[in-house]
Amino acid sequence: MPPRPLTQLTLALLKPDLTANSIKVNKVFSHIQQNDFNIVAHKTLLWSKSDAEAFYGEHRGKFFFERLCGYMTSGHFHALILEKPDAILGWRALIGPTHPPRARINAPDTLRSLYGMTDTRNSFHGSDAVDTATKEIRFFFPEFDLEKWQKDQKDQKDQQKQ
């Protein structure tokens, strides 16, 4: 029995514009499965302005901050914990560059190219690093036992070394 590959978790969002279109949502979940991501946790939620400002605090003061918070509070959206051996980079590669208009030129097969509308309304989010993924998973899924998941991964890694 080949050892189970070690995996990584990332936080993915299907933003409100996309979530409002069930046909597109179904297509995106097919992309997720076809790209071998395991959905570890999934919820839909509606943000208050303070939720959006807290999550995107790193962008406070930038010219697009208000429109970003307005966009992210404009309707329900899906939050997912995705698992795969290289989940963080893998999901970022699948959703593509931040700005859909540019993605349609430079990365036409990515999800933001296929479904995104404008620089702000780009339909997807993905954690951009290991520590960001930990922070973002805790932000959306405080109920998820991340410590247990990380311990199980470490135990599995130790067993494979033996």
Ligand X SMILES: Nc1ncnc2c1ncn2[C@@H]1O[C@H](COP(=O)(O)OP(=O)(O)O)[C@@H](O)[C@H]1O
Residue ranges that bind ligand GTP, judged by CB under 6 A: 63-64, 67, 118-121
Among 47, 125, 136, 141, binds ligand X (CB under 6 A): 125
* 112 assigned to a ligand binding site: yes
* 60 assigned to a ligand binding site: no
Query: How many residues in the shown chain lie near ligand X by CB under 6 A?
Result: 9
Do 107 and 76 touch, CB atoms closer than 8 A?
no
By C-alpha distance, which of 32, 13, 31 is closest to 79? 13
* 122 assigned to a ligand binding site: yes
92: how many CB neighbours lie within 10 A of its CB?
20
CA dist 150 and 66 (Å) reads: 36
Among 21, 73, 74, 98, binds ligand X (CB under 6 A): 98
* 44 assigned to a ligand binding site: no
Binding piece for ligand X, criterion CB under 6 A, among 28-36, 47-55, 102-110, 119-127: 119-127
Cα angle vertex 24, ends 141, 100, to 5°?
85
- In the complex, what is the shortest distance from the CB of residue 72 to ligand X, in angstroms, rounded to a whole number? 8
- Decide which of ligand X, ligand GTP, none touches 122; Cβ closer than 5 to 8 Å per partner kind: ligand X
42 a catalytic residue: no
- In the complex, what is the shortest distance from the CB of residue 98 to ligand GTP, in angstroms, rounded to a whole number? 9
**Residues in contact with ligand X by the rule CB under 6 A:** 59, 64, 68, 98, 119-120, 122, 125, 128
Give the residue numbers of the binding site. 15, 64, 92, 98, 112, 122
Give the residue numbers of the binding site for ATP. 15, 64, 92, 98, 112, 122
